[in-house]
Structure 1
């Protein structure tokens, strides 16, 4: 290994270079509440100390390179783990809650079918549908009656999320208008 090992102990190197670890953590905008990245930085510093060869370049540059790249590798690893978890949750959410039951750790409760309850007054919905644009009615039907998320509606209709939100804003604006409610004969 290098001559520097005989000149300095790792403790001395650590005391002189600890700020490098903090610098790279801050520079990479890492939130390190559990000190995991700090510990990884110490390990990278130790590894660089152990493998440093003086004829290959300045020690400070080698330390910076090792610490920074080790922290970036850790960020990538965390991001991959989070992506895998999110994918798992999305793929298995239907298995956990199929729409007919609310499940908790100790019980399972049946959910009333919203569309059966909401659609009891067909005439009311027909009056509303006649006064709305096609897209506004899609928002009412899919979001209010069917309970779909705005994201799902946007995907299904091949529209942007903002477009679907706009449909909902237009419907809510109409429903707040007393004259409109008289036209559709709502006594709400």
Structure 2
């Protein structure tokens, strides 16, 4: 087990390993989030390491790659769940060529009062213009992950709004 004051030194020493694992797992989006997962895993490894059981380098590597694989699995499950919801919404709107069939202009304006500016941008672009998260991201000059976060948070607020109504 490493002392707390030594973690900065450990961090500098194992930073290339964290980036190596990110590259090995072909992580190209949310790289900074996975870097944080790697740092947390390094910290946990430093706290749980026992010298008599082997070399720290291999212990840390297995800890880091294990945590990153777990985080990737969780992210994929979350994306799959969001994609399923998108597909359901698209199926509902398929009977009409106009996405405003889901929500009227007035309902969108009302909902905009409970949403942030970015969440409102997503709602209007998706429901009124039928744009995908990729198209919205391109138009707004942000990442697709950011638009998906707007969507996730907006949907949560909309669900809550309709549950309370």
For the superposition of Structure 1 and Structure 2, which TM-score range results when normalised by the shorter chain?
A: 0.5 to 0.7
- Over 3 Å counting, the alpha-carbon distance change for 1:10 and 1:61 in structure 2 is same
- 1:32/1:38 contact within 8 Å kept: no
Given that 2:45 and 2:60 are in contact with CA atoms closer than 8 Å, whether structure 1 keeps it comes out as: yes
- Greater RCO structure (CA 8 Å; 6+ sep): 2
Report the secondary structure of 2:98's partner residue: strand
- Secondary structure in 1 aligned to 2:3? helix
User: Which of these residues, 19, 23, 29, is aligned with residue 20 of structure 2?
Assistant: 23
Deviation at 1:63? 0.5
Say whether 1:103 aligns with 2:96.
Answer: no
Structure holding more helix per residue: 2
Q: What is the aligned residue count?
A: 104
Which 4+ residue blocks in structure 1 deviate beyond 4 angstroms? none
Is the 8 Å Cα contact of residues 34 and 68 (structure 2) preserved in structure 1? yes
The residue correspondences of 1:150-161 to structure 2 (distance < 5 A) are none
Q: Give distance in 1, aligned partners of 2:29 and 2:97.
A: 39
Root-mean-square deviation over aligned CA pairs: 2.3
Deviation of residue 90 (structure 1)? 1.6
Matched, 1:92 2:89: yes
Point out where structure 1 has 5 or more consecutive residues left out of the alignment.
109-188
Match of 1:37 among 31, 34, 51: 34
TM-score (norm 2): 0.56
